[in-house]
Structure 1
């Protein structure tokens, strides 16, 4: 499944909660950044999609605004620094992107997950 196919399937509610992990989030954020005219627009799309996904899974509390914005902005900065590299290139140059708990280097768990 391509990144775009994954994103559209997530939007349609066709992705199982247990099969959507951290790296899947990165791929969807990547698509939204590519499709959007601004980081803010991409973040809004990501927020809306993840809120629907969490609610459909019966776990609306799983959505965290701080974490979502952190990852969208970090991925955007990594993309800008790469001067147009692929997601795989960016992850290779920025392996911290694969560390799900990386935001905790900047936020307390209480601040990040409230």
Structure 2
């Protein structure tokens, strides 16, 4: 069974989203959907607080990693900022690296020692290898 984007967000925000949708692709979908509706800062806030709340609701509060979550939102933002009228399915088709190798993508921006630090798990830590740029001109 597939959920519409609206149903996905509503169920997520109400903490009723079936657990099978609360996986890596579900996190990417949530970030993508919020980026379609909100400015970057608001999308980051809604995504990170929402995922953390849902993980806590499922009893998996130790699984949430703030820097990984926020960094992936930045990456999705940069990959979608110039794309108009795209669906999440379209986004996934051209961004399989985020689905299959998100760790490798993140390691372009972060050293492992920074990304997997205790601090990075709890709070957002800026990349130490390649900075996120919020300028459209920086998008390739």
Q: TM-score, normalised by structure 1?
A: 0.83
Could you say which residue in structure 2 is the equivalent of 1:68?
A: 69
User: Which structure has the larger Rg over C-alpha atoms?
Assistant: 2
More helix by share: 1
- Is 1:106 the counterpart of 2:109? The answer is yes
The aligned length equals 113
1:21 aligns to what?
A: 23
Q: Any unmatched runs of 5+ in structure 1?
A: none
1:8 aligns with 2:16: no
- Alignment-derived partner of residue 130 in structure 2: none
3-state SS in 2 of match to 1:82: coil
2:137 corresponds to: none
Q: TM-score w.r.t. structure 2 length?
A: 0.69
The root-mean-square deviation of aligned C-alpha atoms, in Å, is 2.0
Structure 1 residue 106, shift from structure 2 partner: 3.3
Which runs of no fewer than 5 residues in structure 2 stay unpaired?
A: 119-140
State the alpha-carbon separation in 1 of the partners of residues 21 and 88 from structure 2.
20
